[in-house]
Each structure stands twice: as structure tokens, then as C-alpha cells.
């Protein structure tokens, strides 16, 4: 196994040091390390962060390999600085059995670019009618800990209560797609001034907030863990803040696109900006940034959602919701949080690696260990970022098989120079190694 | 004028006035003539691309293009483009390859004409898209108001009914505001969009309070299926609170007019004796639709090289 000497990187933005990687682990950190035989990575001016962990990725395999595969999505993830991604369950067939989650886990291992951690469906076929075999998925080789019907809300309150309770047996967590379905029939975009003008059916903020409010009360009642996917409204942040102040075991994520973009994007009627939950208002964006800064929102989750060209090059209402996110996630966080001074690099590591790893129970010392400190003896899951670089996003240059990036043509800061997965370089000099 | 007519906001006050003036000139030129045809658009091709059934709008545009001597192709793509198999983009590229100079598009999805405008070189005219806009309806309504009342500026207009789902309402609010009219929207709160407060219009829930203070009352079609989605309790209750019957018509100022974009639900939003009264402009609106659409096609295509 290649040994690396990373020279002059700044861990979490601290003072420059050398980091020596051997046998998949960080073997030494210090100045002027002697590492004979190691491959040298010049890292002057680069920030070193623990490998990023995504709680929310759609890899589309099995079923829509024309939009993304585990391999292409893994490559996009590595190029975005990720060393682990949670693969959402809304594949075809749905990841609601031990067989499907093991297949996804195995495909991830074969690709070998990031740890692909399968998410199991909460209900059979994502239909919201009865529980899938959650325990079988937890006990499988994929060792599922995060369960989600993402794309659909577990809307039935009794079923949601049972799911929250049941997964306690194996320290699992239910990740809720908070969307009251009766309030969002045919919904196309955030309901407000712009939806009124554009004549697109509105998706009210209350449809998200009502479910989050209900679910934090249920989680409190049964003493279970709850994770809220892609929080998008100011009201949701307030409810989460209140719930956390009561000691409810709730965590939440925000997507990069909800940190940066607003419903003004819909005025183009270009469905590349159609996403669920929808892009919201400036006030919501501000509340989300504040929530991520103060820790009310625990993590950035990309909701990377690749779609084939024909599913986006259409009328708005006919297009599928979702946008790419893996390759630009860190850039958007730098733009919206780091450069304005709302989060330092330690904060970025916390929200994009440490806390998401803990939510997914990847933070132990097993072979899937993620989100660990940058310290001798720890697994060498690292990303090197050049914070000074800026680049314009070109969808054609993305590693994802799809092209539905909402950032096309936008200049964003930060360049991922290298990513290491347990000591193996998956990205070097900004390029995937395989 | 912009190249496309996608929404009322594409027309500034000068453009809108030019359309109305041009429609008036066309009416004058054709008045009393046996052959109602002008040679203006000879050799030009206008495609009517209709994804929704709308016989009256399609016929109106077809007649407008034919009276300008354009070649007209009716492309009926009923249902959504997706369910039909061919995407909107592929249809657009097909029309482009056939050399359409203008595409008149009617579609059930809001924004479809905007998408189409990205893919064709010719002019796109929005003939109604989803619950978004129907700008030529607003133009013909403004033309009708001007014809009857002599002006649009300062005229007080009530738009009554299902504003939430109405493309006619959205276009009329925009265009009437551009032309200096004062608009009041009247509807039950369930049929007004969240965000209506940002529109350049007053809002009222009380039709009886508004009627004595307007010069124009424009009734919108209310679809009975809205009842099933709890927008209002019953057709009878809707009619009682927001329908225009003879008694309510009596509350209007003497020279006020009653408009309806059609098709009407007689007995629902408008009583038969109102629709057939001297105040009603409903038949004129149909006739004015042809002249106004002629003006739009003429102005969008007339200046371009053959």
C-alpha cells in the first residue's frame, strides 16, 4: 500500500504540519517528518479536513443506471471530498430488504471510491403502509442504521411512531422526509409571492413544519432518535431549536442548494431548479445558515439527485424534482458559511464529517470508521481543500452521469485537491485516481 | 415589441397601446368589406400547437392568421407531451425544422411557452399556459373595455371568481395595471393565491360591496370540480355569494359593463339574464379576439424579413 507524506497542510485551518499516512492510517503528524519512500503530496496553503460524510445521496442503482450508478456517484462523491455517503432507498427495486441493501453495499465496495452506506426503507415499497424488515437490514452485511422513505413522507402518525420505537433495538434512526402529503398535492414550488405569479402550485412551508412538529413530539414521547432530512424553512429551524432545548433526540440536515438558492430561480421555468422540498425565500435561506452556524442544524446533506436529461428537459410540472450536489457541496458551504465568517474550518468538519458520521453511527472504531479526528492512529480519511481557488461550474465536466446541476455557470470557491479513503488516494491533483 | 408574447409583462404601456391601436385599424380596414382578408403575412407560417382542447381560442387564432393570409397549421397534441411520447422539445425542434415563423401554444403546464421559446427561432405566442397567463385574452378584454368605455386608464375593474386557477386573471391584472386601470379581485379566500398581496390589485371577499364602485365586472369561469377539493361547500353557495345575477347587476353604475372570457357556466357564476343583457360584452369579446390576435401576429411577424 502506498504511503503518503502530505506536506504543509493546515488541519482544520490550524498551523501547517506534515501528515504521514501508512497502512491506511495516520502514522504521524508533525513538522519536517522523515518519511522515506512515501509519495509526497505538496499541500502548502491547503486545508486538511476529515473525509466528508453525506447522510443523503441518491445513487440510482439499481434501477436508473442511465442517471447514475454506484460507481459514477462514488466518483462524484470522492471528487467532492467525501469518504462516505448514505445511499437512499428509493431505488428500483426499493432498498427495503436485506438483499437489496447488501447489493448496494457490495457495489460500493467494488467501486472502492467511498464507503457506500445503504439506507433502508422504513416501509415496504416506500408505500407508507407497513414496516419493512428493518431488523433484517440492520443485521445484514450492510449493517443499516439509517432508515428513510425519502422522496415520500412517513405520513401515518401511528406508523411513524412504531418505526421510531422499533429501530431503538439496534440503535437505528428514522430520517424523515417531512412533507404532509395532503398539503402538497401537485405542489411544484414554494408557496408564496412567486408561485402566485408563476401559476405553479404551491408547496407551503407549513406542510414541512407540521410534520417536523409532530415527529419531534413523537420522538420525545417514545424516547427515540429522529433525523430530519433537508430542512428548508425558517419555521422548521425554530421548531428544531425548541425541540433540542427540550432534550429531544433530534438531528437535522440542510442541503447545499437550500443554503444558496431561492425560489427566484423558478422564474426561469427551468426544471433544473425544481427540487423537493422546493427552494424557499431569502428569509428561509438566512434562517438555515443561522441554524447551521449555531448547530440547530447538525449536518449538511447533499440530497444529490441525478436525473436523466429527458426527465429535466421538459415542462416544469412534468420534470422530476432533484439536483446534483456532491461535487459542489463543500464549495457552497465555503461560499455561504466560511467566507462570510459564520463557520470556521473546525465547524465545517463538524457539520460535514463528525456529526453526520455520528448520526449514521459510523463514528466507532470499526472498519467503517468515519468522522474521526485528524490524529495519529486514526484511519486516514482525509480531504485537502484549496480555499483560495475559484472555478466556474461546468456540468459537462462533472463525474456524475447526470448533468442537472443548479450551479451551472456559477463561480464557486474552493477546490478539492485530494481525497484519501483509509490511506488510499481516491482523488489526487483534483482528479479521480480511478 | 419583444420577439415573443409569453405574459402580460412582456408588454409595456406603449407596446400594449400599439396592439390595441393596431387592432382598431384592422377593424376599420375590414369594416364593411366582403373579403375579410389582408395580404400582410402571405408566405409566413403560423403553427397552432394545442396541448389542451380549446376550440374557441384555436379557431380565433386560426381565423386571425388566415385573415392575414398566413399559412396555418393546426398541431393538436391533446394531453401532455409526455403522455403522448414526444417531448415538448422534440416537437419544438420539429416545428423549427418545418420553418414555423410563429408558434401559438396552448398547454396545461404553466411555463411551457417559456420553455418552447428557448428552443425555436420563431415567435412564441402564449395562448394559455396552465394556471399562469393568457395574454391575448387580456389584450382583447382591454380592447373591449376601450371600445365600450372609451378608455382603459382609470377604469375600475372587478375580476370575480377563481383567481387562484385563472390564467385570465393573472394576465388581466398585469395588463390592466400597465394600462392604468384599477383592479379589484373578488373571490372566496380559498380561490385567491397565497401571495396575492404582492399583485397590483385590491382584494375583496364581498362582491356586493364592490359592485357599486366599478365600471367593469369580469366574471371568471368556476369549474365545478373545485367543489370536490373543498374550495367552496357547494355550487349553490358559490353562486349565492359570488354569482352575478340580475339583482346584483342592478347594483352596478349605469354604464358599467359585464365581461366573461367564456365558456360560461350559466346559472353558476353568471345568470342567463345577465349574460344576455345589454351590459354584456361577451359576444363582442369573441369578435375582438380575432382582431386583437391579428394585431399581435402582425406586430410580431410583420417586421421580420420573409
CB contact under 8 A, A200 and B82: no
Per-residue pLDDT, A366: 78
Which triple of cell numbers denotes residue B250? 342592478
Evaluate if residue A173 carries a pLDDT over 80.
yes
Q: Give the residues across from B163 on adjacent strands.
A: none
How many CA atoms within 13 Å lie on the side-chain side of B171? 30
Residue with cell 459510523: A362
- Residues A186, A278 within the same domain: yes
Both A407 and A352 in one domain: the answer is no
- Cα separation, A75 vs A85, in Å, equals 11
Taking 80 as the threshold, does the pLDDT of residue B84 lie above it?
Answer: no
pLDDT over 90 for what percent of chain B?
Answer: 84
Map chain B to HEC letters: CCCCECCHHHCCHHHHHHHHHHHHHHHHHHCCCCCCCCCCCCCCEEEEEECCCCHHHHHHHHHHHHHCCCEEEEEECCCCHHHHCCCHHHHHHHHHHCCCCEEEEEECCCCHHHHHHCCCCCEEEEEEECCCECHHHHHHHHHHHHHHHCCCCCCEEEEECCCCCCHHHHHHHHHHHHCCCEEEEECCHHHCCCCHHHCCCEEECCHHHHHHHCCEEEECCCCHHHHHHCCCCCHHHHHHHHCECHHHHCCCCCCCEEECCCCCCECCCECHHHHCCCCECHHHHHHHHHHHHHHHHHHHHCCCCC
pLDDT band at residue B306 under the 50/70/90 scheme: very low
Domain co-membership, A68 together with A147: yes
Residue-wise pLDDT for A120-130, tens only, equals 999 999 999 99
CATH number assigned to the domain covering B135-281: 3.40.50.1370
Q: Kindly determine whether residue A269 and residue B111, on different chains, have CB atoms separated by under 8 Å.
A: yes
- Of A351, A368, A385, which closes a domain? A368
Report whether A374 contacts A50 (CB < 8 A).
yes
- Shared domain check, A415 and A318: no
Clarify whether residues A141 and A37 are in a common domain: no
Q: How far is B163 from chain A (nearest CA, A)?
A: 10
- Tell me the per-residue pLDDT of B257-266, one tens digit each, with 9 for 90 and over: 999 999 999 9
- Supply the residues of A annotated as catalytic: 303
Confirm if B138 and B174 have CB atoms less than 8 A apart: yes
Q: Is B36 on the interface with A (CB under 8 A)?
A: no
Q: Is B131 within 8 Å of chain A by CB?
A: yes
Asked if A314's CB is within 8 angstroms of B89's CB, the reply is yes
Highest CATH level, class, for B8-133+286-301: alpha beta
Residue A50: pLDDT over 80: yes
| CA–CA distance, B130 with B171 (Å, rounded to integer) | 12
**Cell 437535522 belongs to which residue?**
A252
Q: For the packed helices A234-245 and A282-294, what is the interaxial angle rounded to 10 degrees?
A: 30
Report the pLDDT value the prediction gives residue B80, as an integer from 0 to 100: 46
- Residues with Cβ < 8 Å from B94, sequence gap 6 or more? none
DSSP codes, A304-332: B----GGGTSS-TTTSPP-B--GGGHHHH
CA distance A371 to A409: 32
- Taking a C-beta distance cutoff of 8 angstroms, is the pair A109, A139 a contact? no
- The minimum CA-CA distance between B165 and chain A, rounded to whole Å, is 8
Among A356-360, A406-410, B231-235, name the one with the lowest average pLDDT. B231-235
State the helix-helix crossing angle for B135-149 and B282-301, rounded to 10 degrees: 120
- In whole angstroms, how large is the CA radius of gyration of chain A? 20
- Residue pairs spanning A and B at CB distance below 8 A: 80
CB within 8 Å: A314 and B199 = no
Cis ω for the linkage preceding B125 (within 30 of 0): no
Chain B residues closer than 8 Å to A201 by CB: 131
**Over 60: is that where the pLDDT of B305 sits?**
no
What total number of domains does chain A contain? Answer: 2
Question: Percent of chain A scored above 70 by pLDDT?
Answer: 100
Range of the domain at A8: 3-47+377-432
Q: Which three cell numbers stand for residue A41?
A: 503530496
CATH code of residue A382: 2.30.40.10
Q: What is the pLDDT of residue B226?
A: 77
Q: In chain B, pLDDT over 70 holds for what percent of residues?
A: 96
pLDDT of residue B78: 66
pLDDT (tens digit, 9 = 90+) per residue, B6-65?
Answer: 999 999 999 999 999 999 999 999 998 988 899 999 999 999 999 988 889 999 999 999
Percent above pLDDT 90 for chain A: 97
Which of B291, B288, B266, B290 has the alpha carbon at shortest distance from B277? B266
- Residue B303: band (very low, low, confident or very high) from pLDDT cuts 50, 70, 90: low
**pLDDT, tens digit, for every residue of A252-299?**
999 999 999 999 999 999 999 999 999 999 999 999 999 999 999 999
Residue boundaries of the structural domains of chain B:
8-133+286-301, 135-281
In A90-199, DSSP assigns E strands to 115-118, 146-147, 173-176, 189-190
Q: What angle do CA B291, B297, B300 make, to 5 degrees?
A: 140
Give yes or no: residues A283 and A384 share one domain: no
Q: Rounded to the nearest 5 degrees, what angle is found at the Cα of B117, between the Cα atoms of B171 and A202?
A: 50
Q: Which of A203, A204, A212 is nearest to A231 (CA)?
A: A212
- Distance in angstroms (rounded) separating the CA atoms of residues B173 and B183: 7
Q: A269: which chain B residues are within 8 Å (Cβ-Cβ)?
A: 110-111, 114-115
Rounded to whole angstroms, how far apart are CA atoms A236 and A240? 6
Residue A27 shares a structural domain with residue A79: no
ipTM of this complex > 0.90?
yes
A189/chain B closest Cα distance in angstroms: 12
> What tens digit of pLDDT does each residue of B136-194 get?
999 999 999 999 999 999 999 999 999 999 999 999 999 999 999 999 999 999 999 99
User: CB-based contact (8 Å) between A192 and chain B?
Assistant: yes
Final residue of a structural domain among A341, A368, A395: A368
Same domain, A163 and A202: yes
CA nearest A398: which of A6, A16, A73? A73
Are residues A110 and A22 both part of a single domain? no
Distance from CA of B114 to the nearest CA of A (A): 7
* CA atoms lying within 13 Å on the CB side of residue A137: 32
Query: What number is the average pLDDT over the span A88-94?
Result: 98
B305 annotated ligand-binding residue: no
Q: Is B131 close to A269, i.e. CB distance below 8 A? A: no
pLDDT at B79: 52
Q: Which residues in chain A touch residue B112, judged by CB atoms under 8 angstroms apart?
A: 315
Does B85 score more than 90 pLDDT? Answer: no
Residue with cell 482525509: A382
Search chain B and give the residue with CA nearest A183.
Answer: B229
SS3 for A27?
strand
> Do A267 and A297 belong together in one domain?
yes
Taking residues B198-212, report their average pLDDT. Answer: 98
Chain A residues lying within 8 Å of B228, measured CB to CB: none
**Hey, is A47 helix, strand or coil?**
strand
Q: What's A291's domain CATH number?
A: 3.20.20.140
Q: How far apart are CA A159 and CA A38, in angstroms?
A: 54
Q: Model confidence over A321-333: pLDDT tens digits?
A: 999 999 999 999 9
**C-alpha distance from residue A142 to each of A119, A246, A371 (Å):** 9, 33, 19
Same structural domain, A406 and A345: no
- The pTM assigned to this predicted structure is 0.95
Query: Binding site for Zn(2+): what residues of A are annotated?
Result: 56, 58, 150, 177, 230, 303
- Residue A198: closest C-alpha in chain B: B132
- Which residues of A are part of a known binding site for substrate? 58-60, 90, 276, 307, 321-322
Residue pair B5/B12 in contact by the 8 Å Cβ criterion:
no
Which chain B residue's Cα is nearest to A269?
B111
Given an 8 Å threshold on Cβ–Cβ distance, is A191 in contact with B87?
A: no
Say yes or no for a CB contact (<8 Å) between A191 and B194.
yes
Instruction: With a cut of 60, say whether residue A165 has pLDDT above it.
Output: yes
Last residue of a domain, one of A368, A391, A423: A368
Q: Which residues of A touch B110 (CB under 8 A)?
A: 188, 198-200, 269, 316-317
Res B82: pLDDT = 44
pLDDT above 70 (res A112): yes
Q: How far apart are CA B187 and CA B208, in angstroms?
A: 12
* pLDDT score at B227: 74
Contact B170 A318 (CB under 8 A): no
Please compute the mean of the pLDDT values over residues A12-19 and round it to a whole number.
97
pLDDT of residue B304: 42
Chain A interface test: which of B111, B168, B177 (most A C-beta within 10 Å): B111
Any idea what DSSP says for residue A119? P
Q: What are residue A48's DSSP bridge partners?
A: A11, A384
Same domain, A360 and A391: no
Q: Is B73 on the interface with A (CB under 8 A)?
A: no
A192: chain B residues, CB-CB within 8 Å: 194-195
Q: What is the mean pLDDT of chain A?
A: 97
Q: Is B262 annotated as a binding residue?
A: yes
For residues A164-191, give the mean pLDDT. Answer: 98
What are the backbone angles phi and psi of residue A23, rounded to the nearest 5°?
Answer: 50, 40
Q: Report the C-alpha gap between A314 and B118 in whole angstroms.
A: 11
Q: B182 at the A interface (CB within 8 A)?
A: no
In 10 A of CB A325, how many CB atoms?
Answer: 29
Nearest to A315 among B107, B193, B199 (CB): B107
Amino acid at each position: 500500500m502506498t504511503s503518503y507524506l502530505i506536506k504543509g497542510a493546515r488541519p482544520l485551518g490550524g498551523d501547517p504540519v506534515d501528515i504521514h499516512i501508512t497502512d491506511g492510517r495516520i502514522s504521524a503528524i508533525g513538522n519536517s517528518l522523515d518519511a522515506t519512500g512515501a509519495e509526497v503530496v505538496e499541500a502548502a496553503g491547503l486545508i486538511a479536513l476529515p473525509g466528508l460524510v453525506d447522510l443523503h445521496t441518491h445513487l440510482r442503482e439499481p434501477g436508473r443506471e442511465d442517471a447514475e450508478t454506484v460507481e459514477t456517484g462514488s466518483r462524484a462523491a470522492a471528487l467532492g471530498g467525501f469518504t462516505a455517503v448514505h445511499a437512499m432507498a428509493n431505488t428500483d427495486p426499493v432498498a427495503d430488504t436485506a438483499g437489496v441493501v447488501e447489493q448496494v453495499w457490495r457495489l460500493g465496495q467494488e467501486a472502492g471510491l467511498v464507503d457506500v452506506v445503504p439506507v433502508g426503507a422504513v416501509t415496504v415499497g416506500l408505500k407508507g403502509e407497513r414496516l419493512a424488515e428493518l431488523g433484517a437490514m440492520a443485521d445484514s452485511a450492510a449493517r443499516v442504521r439509517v432508515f428513510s422513505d425519502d422522496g415520500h413522507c412517513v405520513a401515518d402518525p401511528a406508523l411513524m411512531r412504531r418505526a421510531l420505537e422499533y429501530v431503538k433495538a439496534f440503535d437505528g434512526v428514522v430520517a424523515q422526509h417531512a412533507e404532509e402529503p395532503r398539503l402538497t398535492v401537485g405542489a411544484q414550488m414554494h408557496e408564496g409571492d412567486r408561485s402566485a405569479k408563476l401559476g405553479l402550485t404551491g408547496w407551503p412551508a407549513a406542510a414541512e413544519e407540521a410534520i417536523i412538529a409532530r415527529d419531534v413530539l413523537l420522538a420525545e414521547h417514545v424516547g427515540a432518535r429522529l433525523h430530519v432530512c433537508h430542512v428548508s424553512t425558517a419555521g422548521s429551524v425554530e421548531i428544531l431549536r425548541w425541540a433540542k432545548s427540550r432534550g429531544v433526540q433530534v438531528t437535522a440536515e440542510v442541503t447545499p442548494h437550500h443554503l444558496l438558492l431561492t425560489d427566484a430561480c423558478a422564474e426561469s421555468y427551468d426544471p433544473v431548479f425544481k427540487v423537493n422540498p422546493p427552494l424557499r425565500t431569502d428569509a428561509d435561506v438566512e434562517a438555515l445558515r443561522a441554524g447551521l452556524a449555531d448547530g440547530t442544524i447538525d449536518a449538511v446533506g447533499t440530497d444529490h439527485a441525478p436525473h436523466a436529461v429527458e426527465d429535466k428537459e421538459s415542462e416544469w410540472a412534468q420534470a422530476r424534482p432533484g439536483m446534483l450536489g456532491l461535487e459542489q457541496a463543500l464549495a457552497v458551504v465555503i461560499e455561504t458559511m466560511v467566507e462570510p465568517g459564520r463557520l470556521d474550518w473546525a465547524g465545517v468538519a463538524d457539520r460535514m464529517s463528525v456529526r453526520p458520521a455520528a448520526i449514521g453511527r459510523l463514528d466507532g472504531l470499526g472498519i467503517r470508521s468515519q468522522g474521526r479526528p485528524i490524529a495519529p492512529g486514526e484511519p486516514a480519511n482525509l480531504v485537502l481543500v484549496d480555499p483560495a481557488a475559484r472555478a466556474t461550474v461546468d456540468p459537462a465536466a462533472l463525474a456524475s452521469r447526470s448533468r442537472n446541476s443548479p450551479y451551472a455557470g456559477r463561480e464557486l470557491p474552493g477546490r478539492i485537491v485530494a481525497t484519501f479513503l483509509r490511506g488510499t488516494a481516491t482523488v489526487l491533483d483534483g482528479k479521480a485516481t480511478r | 415589441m419583444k420577439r415573443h408574447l409569453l405574459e402580460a409583462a412582456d408588454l409595456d404601456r406603449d407596446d400594449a397601446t400599439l396592439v390595441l391601436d393596431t387592432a382598431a385599424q384592422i377593424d376599420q380596414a375590414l369594416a364593411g368589406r366582403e373579403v375579410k382578408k389582408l395580404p400582410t403575412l402571405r408566405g409566413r407560417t403560423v403553427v397552432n400547437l394545442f396541448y389542451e382542447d380549446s376550440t374557441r381560442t384555436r379557431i380565433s387564432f386560426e381565423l386571425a392568421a388566415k385573415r392575414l393570409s398566413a399559412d396555418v397549421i393546426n398541431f393538436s397534441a391533446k394531453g401532455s407531451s409526455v403522455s403522448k411520447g414526444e417531448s415538448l422539445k422534440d416537437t419544438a425542434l420539429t416545428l423549427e425544422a418545418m420553418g414555423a415563423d410563429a408558434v401559438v401554444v396552448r398547454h396545461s403546464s404553466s411555463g411551457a411557452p417559456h420553455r418552447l421559446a428557448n428552443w425555436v427561432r420563431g415567435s412564441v405566442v402564449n395562448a394559455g399556459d396552465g394556471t399562469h397567463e393568457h395574454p391575448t385574452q387580456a389584450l382583447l378584454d382591454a380592447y373591449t373595455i376601450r371600445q365600450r368605455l372609451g378608455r382603459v386608464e382609470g377604469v375600475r375593474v372587478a375580476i370575480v371568481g377563481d383567481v387562484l386557477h385563472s390564467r385570465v386573471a393573472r394576465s388581466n391584472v398585469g395588463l390592466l395595471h400597465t394600462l392604468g386601470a384599477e383592479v379589484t379581485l373578488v373571490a372566496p379566500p380559498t380561490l385567491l393565491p397565497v401571495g396575492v398581496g404582492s399583485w397590483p390589485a385590491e382584494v375583496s371577499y364581498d362582491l356586493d360591496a364592490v359592485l357599486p364602485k366599478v365600471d367593469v365586472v369580469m366574471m371568471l369561469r368556476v369549474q365545478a370540480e373545485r367543489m370536490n377539493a373543498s374550495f367552496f361547500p357547494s355550487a349553490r353557495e358559490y353562486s349565492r355569494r359570488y354569482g352575478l345575477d340580475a339583482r346584483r347587476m342592478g347594483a352596478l353604475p349605469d354604464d358599467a359593463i359585464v365581461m366573461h372570457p367564456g365558456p360560461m357556466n350559466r346559472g353558476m357564476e353568471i345568470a342567463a339574464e345577465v349574460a344576455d343583457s345589454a351590459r354584456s360584452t361577451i359576444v363582442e369579446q369573441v369578435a375582438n379576439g380575432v382582431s386583437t390576435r391579428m394585431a399581435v401576429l402582425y406586430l410580431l411577424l410583420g417586421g421580420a424579413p420573409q
